[in-house]
Chains A and B, each alone.
Chain A
Amino acid sequence: MEYNFTSVQRQSVVGILVLVLKIVVKFFRAIGFLLLIWLFREYEFILEYPIYSLLAVFGIIALCLFSGFMLYRNFVFYIDEEEQAFVLRQGVFRKKQSIVHFKNIEQVNLSQGVIAQALDFYQLEIETSASAKAEITILALDEPKALALKNTLLAYSGKATIPTAQHIATEASDTIKISNARLLLASLFTNYANGLLLAFAFLFTFWSQLDDLFLVGDYEDDIFDYATNQTYDKYLIALLVFLLIPFVINLVRYGVRYFRYQIGMKREGELHLEYGLTNLQNRIIKTGKVQQIDIQENFILKKIGIVFLWLKQISVLDGKKNQGMIHMPGLTKPEAEVILTQWQEQATKIKETAAVYRPHRRKILMRMIQRSLLLLPIGAVLLYNQADLPMVVWGIYALVSLLMYSVPALAYRNERLYITDGFILHQYGIWEITQSIMPMYKVQRVTYGQKAWHKKHGLSSLVIANAAGSIDLHVYDITVIKALRDHLLYQVSAQPKDWLS
């Protein structure tokens, strides 16, 4: 990647985290001791007003985050070619500007502490002849930017020549590295539901293991009594803590499994993957075997500019099972496009030329009827046992119903079908929006379907299967579906192409 340091630059986003950490450390150094003494004396206050205490903790966290962000925003640097100098401006209220002339630069150092190593960033220091200490310290830069800045500065100061910088740029372009900082962000903002399920599973196993943990008999009643005698604040806190668990689970899961993710593309048609903390994976993926790629993003990830890729490989070949699904978490959009182009040259351009279709509005109605089939009987059972039920149950029932009924409309809003000469792209989802891309020549089987109650509305469905997955189109206009079906079969048979290529 090319960097233009003559324009104003900032640290890498992970710098916010480093700054926040610094602030927290500063904060505890300043008043930590006093706080500890106060806590020791007045811990009853916390037990008495848990909500306020929790709010105070959240308030302090928010304040630290905010000041970290402000410091980050106000930390800029650039190269002033007229002055032949490197300029650094920092400070929120008290602004400070440091200027280092190129001719004074003695050394540019990159270093990594423990945190920097874990989150994959570098600290850059500029030493001058003027003082023994580093004149300028930039806390957090990602690797390519740090290298580029170092080389640019060295080149300007006459200590090295420009070509070195270019050399590094070309070498970096055939390897994609997912920095740990990005992995962290990605893991925080995705698959919350999965994490929640895992948390529930954990809670459930814990509950069922209680028998083995305590050998006394009556604990269940004790726990129940204890639980029912608590105030609402404590329920709320327990709920909040529980809702935070998925974040931690995802963080650990992603951090351990996909640590130091690297994708090498030195050879045509191959992706060399390397990742993992405890269990280092080293895999070579033949792009021809990838039958379908799913791109996943959500509202927050979109804002940060991060996407997830799922490469679906053929799962059974010659009777041998291989690990079919490959996950690439936390790619930037351009990086994802590089991978897509490695797979299918045209895969990134589908949306530009495609014809776009949407499902029929009746899909919302149909999904709502489906949900009613589940919700109404439950409602009937609740009504039957009304006398014994607390109001909370009805509240939960109403909330769940509302959520379940709003899902079809949201799903309808996001669903699109893009068709070009060679590709199908299906976009769907509620919060996590997935785009499934399938080249037509990889289609293995086509299932056209129509339900009796869709006949008079001219609606039907199509399931397009490849060797690793499928694209399911439901409640679309019958003319579109039939034409697509016939076209797919025509393509697969009339212009046969090896589907493993």
Chain B
Amino acid sequence: MFKNNALDLDDVSITSLDSLDMQRILPAYKWVILFNYAILLLTSNALIFGFYQLEDEIAFQTQLIVYAIVNAVIILLLGITLIGFKYRKYALRDHDIVYESGWLIHNQVVVPYNRLQYVNINQGLLMRKLGLGTIVLHTAGNDREALKISGLDYEIALKIKTIVADKMAITFTNIDDHTDTLNTTENDGI
């Protein structure tokens, strides 16, 4: 029978996420961020330039103001992203995977392994040069990814993928029969 009592939110037997040691992502990923922003800067400026070539009745002063605003906003965003870089952390626990990020707006996403549908690793051209990888986790129902960690060492990303896939398989059958297996798997921060 399913119980339905008022919830005691001060239950100390539940381990809190606050006491968790978390891993930072690799600093090399900053290059990827810089590269992406460079492309963004180039394309947006090119677009504005192209637009002004077609519409020739706009005063030069107005053009300059638009350029200034667009570039200032992009550079501001880049600044915030770079400051927020050290807040990008992840951890694997026995039963779930955690990723947090953000400086002004801090977010922490947690997905239990037994809710995962599939895992994959992405690697762009620059990331391959730097030996980085992005791990993407999907749950059911949502079109977009549930959790995404960019800027992992590629080897570690592969390791995480194996561990997560393992745990997905286990938790789909019966968690109680496999408690021992779970505890022996190396998973503390990798």
Interface residues of B in 112-142 (CB under 8 A from A): 112-115, 139-142
Whole-angstrom CA separation of A315 from B5 in the bound complex: 30
Q: Is the CB of A354 within 8 A of B6?
A: yes
Whole-angstrom distance between the Cβ of B14 and the nearest chain A Cβ: 5
Q: Is the CB of A421 within 8 A of B114?
A: no
A450 close to B (CB within 8 Å): yes
Contact residues in B for A482 (Cβ distance below 8 Å): 16-18
Contact residues in A for B112 (Cβ distance below 8 Å): 443, 489, 492-493
Whole-angstrom CA separation of A480 from B7 in the bound complex: 11
A479 close to B (CB within 8 Å): yes
Whole-angstrom CA separation of A179 from B143 in the bound complex: 37
Task: Give a binary string over A461-501; 1 marks a CB under 8 Å from any B CB, 0 the rest.
Answer: 00001111000000000011011111101101110100100
Q: Which residue of A lies closest to B137 (CB)?
A: A445
Q: Is the CB of B140 within 8 A of A487?
A: no
Whole-angstrom CA separation of A466 from B115 in the bound complex: 10
Contact residues in B for A423 (Cβ distance below 8 Å): 4
Whole-angstrom CA separation of A448 from B100 in the bound complex: 9
Whole-angstrom CA separation of A20 from B106 in the bound complex: 60
Listed residue (B11, B107, B171) with the most chain A CB atoms within 10 angstroms of its CB: B107
Interface residues of B, count at CB 8 A: 40
Task: Give a binary string over A419-452; 1 marks a CB under 8 Å from any B CB, 0 the rest.
Answer: 1111100000000000000000001111111111
Taking A421-B3, A492-B112 as contacts, is the C-beta distance between A449 and B107 under 8 angstroms? yes
Q: How large is the interface on A (under 10, 10 to 19, 20 to 34, 35 or more residues)?
A: 35 or more
Q: Which of A108-116, A240-248, A342-350, A388-396 contacts B (4 or more CB under 8 A)?
A: A342-350
Q: Is the CB of B105 within 8 A of A466?
A: no
Q: Is the CB of A445 within 8 A of B4?
A: no
- Please tell me which one of the listed residues B96, B102, B142, B146 contacts residue A489 in the complex, with CB atoms under 8 A apart: B96
A326 close to B (CB within 8 Å): no
B2 close to A (CB within 8 Å): yes
Contact residues in A for B26 (Cβ distance below 8 Å): none
Q: Is the CB of B110 within 8 A of A355?
A: no
Q: Is the CB of B108 within 8 A of A448?
A: yes
A291 close to B (CB within 8 Å): yes
Taking A467-B141, A489-B95, A492-B115 as contacts, is the C-beta distance between A447 and B107 under 8 angstroms? yes
A215 close to B (CB within 8 Å): no
Q: Is the CB of B110 within 8 A of A444?
A: no
Q: Is the CB of B115 within 8 A of A485?
A: no
Q: Is the CB of A496 within 8 A of B175?
A: yes
- Please tell me which one of the listed residues B14, B115, B139, B147 contacts residue A486 in the complex, with CB atoms under 8 A apart: B14
Taking A445-B110, A467-B139, A467-B142 as contacts, is the C-beta distance between A353 and B147 under 8 angstroms? no
Whole-angstrom distance between the Cβ of A468 and the nearest chain B Cβ: 6
- Please tell me which one of the listed residues B95, B105, B140 contacts residue A451 in the complex, with CB atoms under 8 A apart: B105
Q: Which residue of A lies closest to B114 (CB)?
A: A496
Whole-angstrom distance between the Cβ of A239 and the nearest chain B Cβ: 38
- Please tell me which one of the listed residues B9, B105, B113 contacts residue A452 in the complex, with CB atoms under 8 A apart: B105
Whole-angstrom CA separation of A420 from B4 in the bound complex: 6
Whole-angstrom distance between the Cβ of A485 and the nearest chain B Cβ: 7
B75 close to A (CB within 8 Å): no
Whole-angstrom distance between the Cβ of A291 and the nearest chain B Cβ: 7
A381 close to B (CB within 8 Å): no
A1 close to B (CB within 8 Å): no
Whole-angstrom distance between the Cβ of A74 and the nearest chain B Cβ: 46
Whole-angstrom CA separation of A499 from B141 in the bound complex: 12
Q: Is the CB of A422 within 8 A of B14?
A: no
B103 close to A (CB within 8 Å): yes
A316 close to B (CB within 8 Å): yes
Interface residues of A (CB under 8 A from B): 291, 314-317, 345-346, 349-350, 353-355, 419-423, 443-452, 465-468, 479-480, 482-487, 489-490, 492-494, 496, 499
Contacts A/B (CB < 8 Å), 10 sampled: A354-B6, A444-B111, A448-B17, A449-B108, A450-B106, A487-B14, A490-B15, A493-B95, A493-B96, A493-B113
